[in-house]
Amino acid sequence: QEQLLESGGGVVQPGRSLGLSCEASGISFSSSGMHWVRQAPGKGLEWVAGIWYDGSKIDYSDSLKGRVTISRDNSKNKLFLEMNDVSPEDTAVFYCVRGEGGSGLGVFDIWGQGTLVTVSA
Amino acid sequence: SYELTQPPSVSVSPGQTATITCSGDGLDGKYTYWYQHKPGQSPVVVIYKDSKRPSGIPERFSGSNSGDTATLTISGTLPIDEGDYHCQTWDISTAIFGGGTKLTVL
């Protein structure tokens, strides 16, 4: 069964950092481009970052560049996201998503169940 | 930066045809993808590469892309089709989502 399972969500204080993980199972993770997508309450989907299958290319949303870092460990079938200096506007459900092919630059065909990050004092 | 525009909401009666648009400059020069998102669930792709339907997606879902507008059409809309629909495209290596459209079936 193809599955992406996020972890690391919860309550984070403003100005602190958050770290999310995503463990893949049932897919060829090391051959897949991967992404993080978030959805703030009452808002639409927002792409956060993407990473090629081998980590050789990484792209970030212009609005978040400089505050986020995406990485992966293919030996553990895991994807990671770090976000610094969070604010209440970063409150969102974060989804781990598989993209098409090794670059991930196509359809988002597998989504995790999402992990909720709440930024609050 | 590239932007996609969707109507915030669309209403349709059961059995009728629902049409959801997604607009962007020269959008027909890019592929458009459509995701259905129901409360408490993860998004699911219903149309990819403008008009292709993944396995398991009912035939009542179809897509097109012409000029500056991509369109998701749901023929014979069912109550279970109610939810949010998001269009998405790529601007080089950046994924762009529209604001989402809430489809109400009543």
Task: Order across the sheet with B61-66: list the strands.
Answer: B18-23, B69-74, B61-66
Q: What is the pLDDT of residues B53-88, one digit of tens each?
A: 999 999 999 999 999 999 999 999 999 999 999 999
CB contact under 8 A, B48 and A106: yes
B36 touching chain A per CB within 8 A: no
Phi-psi region of A48 (alpha: psi -120 to 50; beta: other; left: phi over 0): alpha
| pLDDT for the residue A90 | 97
| pLDDT for the residue B87 | 98
Residues in chain B: 106
B100 touching chain A per CB within 8 A: yes
A59 touching chain B per CB within 8 A: yes
CB contact under 8 A, B48 and A107: yes
Number of CB atoms found within 10 A of residue A52's CB: 20
HSE-up of residue B25 (Cα within 13 Å, Cβ side):
4
CB contact under 8 A, B43 and A44: no
Q: What is the pLDDT of residues A55-103, one digit of tens each?
A: 999 999 999 989 999 999 999 999 999 999 999 999 999 999 999 999 9
Q: What is the pLDDT of residues B12-49, one digit of tens each?
A: 999 999 999 999 999 999 999 999 999 999 999 999 99
Q: What is the pLDDT of residues A35-59, one digit of tens each?
A: 999 999 999 999 999 999 999 999 9
Number of CB atoms found within 10 A of residue A106's CB: 16
Closest approach of A112 to chain B, Cα-based (Å): 7
A3 touching chain B per CB within 8 A: no
CB contact under 8 A, B45 and A37: no
Q: Which of B31, B49, B97 faces A45 most closely, judged by CB atoms?
A: B97
B95 neighbourhood in chain A, CB within 8 Å: 35, 37, 47, 50, 108
A13, A34, B49, B62, B69 from B53: Cα distances, Å: 42, 22, 9, 7, 18
Cα–Cα distance measured from residue A53 to residue A44, given in angstroms and rounded to the nearest whole number = 26
Cα–Cα distance measured from residue B101 to residue B69, given in angstroms and rounded to the nearest whole number = 15
B98 neighbourhood in chain A, CB within 8 Å: 44
pLDDT band at B9; cut points 50, 70, 90: very high
